[in-house]
Amino acid sequence: MLDYGSGNVRSAVRALERAGARVTLSAKAEDVLNADGLVVPGVGAFATVMKELRDVDAIRMIGRRVAGGRPVLAICVGLQILFEEGVEHGTTEPGMGEWPGKVELLPADVVPHMGWNTVSAPEGSMLFEGVEQERFYFVHSYGVQKWEFDVTHAGIKPPMVTWSEHGAPFIAAVENGPLCATQFHPEKSGDAGARLLRNWVNSLRKAPGTAAA
């Protein structure tokens, strides 16, 4: 798991260990680049998370993993920073740009969106296999409300996008080859989140005890 100062990640570490992973909490290049799977947590503001990632050279390392087909799972703000930009309090901050789109305030009567919510997962989802109808735990005020990815090359498999709703539809998860991300917190989502994490760990195609940074 990527350690870049994002706050309390102990619950995520424990949840991954229960899912069968051997977890190393680190920002060292050799750990981040060589792990079978990298988990990128995210807590706080979009701009703050981007700065913290830059401070430990994580933007480059995440990009290298994705380019090399090495699995990455991003959580909460970790999902948000993968998009082109985030708008918070009238300020626009560039993201990593792995996917087109903008993170904006949810148009709901009550924010943050805090608590359990259902999702609408696409058929064939790896992450949501066995938990397609379950609820997951969200804590966020901002989200990506439009999916703008355009596949222009024949033979390229489009990403799988899972949606939820709070005031308006927003992206709850994305599965894009080696790069997966969830807006909700699987480590706080009970049995459903535990199954989702097992699905991801198992997708690394390693025996139980696989390494995950």
119 C-beta neighbours (distance < 10 Å), count: 24
CA–CA dist 78, 39 (Å, integer): 9
Question: Would you say 87 and 115 are in contact if contact means Cβ atoms under 8 Å apart?
Answer: no
Question: Would you say 170 and 143 are in contact if contact means Cβ atoms under 8 Å apart?
Answer: yes
- Residue 210 token pair: 């696989």
Residue 50: is its pLDDT beyond 90? yes
> What is the residue-averaged pLDDT of the chain?
94
pLDDT in tens, 105-114: 999 999 999 9
CA–CA dist 177, 175 (Å, integer): 6
- Residue 170 token pair: 């927003």
- The arithmetic mean of pLDDT across residues 37-44, rounded, is 94
pLDDT at 155: 62
Known active-site residue 180:
no
Backbone angles phi, psi at 77, to 5 degrees: -65, -20
Residue 13: is its pLDDT beyond 80? yes
Domain ranges of the chain: 10-212
Q: Is the dihedral of CA 115, 120, 126, 129 positive or negative?
A: positive
pLDDT in tens, 127-179: 999 999 999 999 999 999 999 887 665 567 889 999 999 999 999 999 999 99
Amino acid (1-letter code) at residue 90:
G
pLDDT at 41: 94
pTM above 0.85, yes or no: yes
pLDDT at 151: 67
Residue 206: is its pLDDT beyond 60? no
Catalytic-role residue among 76, 140, 166, 180: 76
pLDDT in tens, 14-33: 999 999 999 999 999 999 99
In the 3-class helix/strand/coil scheme, how is 34-62 assigned residue by residue?
HCCEEEECCCCCHHHHHHHHHHCCHHHHH
Q: Is the peptide bond before 169 cis (omega within 30 degrees of 0)?
A: no
CA–CA dist 137, 79 (Å, integer): 15
Query: For the chain, what is the total number of helices (H) and then of strands (E)?
Result: 6, 13
Fold entry, domain 10-212 = Rossmann fold (3.40.50)
What's the chain's Rg over C-alpha atoms?
16
Banded model confidence at residue 207, pLDDT cuts 50, 70, 90 = very low
pLDDT in tens, 176-204: 999 999 999 999 999 999 999 999 999 99
- Residue 160 token pair: 């799988």
Residue 63: is its pLDDT beyond 70? yes
pLDDT at 209: 52
CA–CA dist 186, 169 (Å, integer): 19
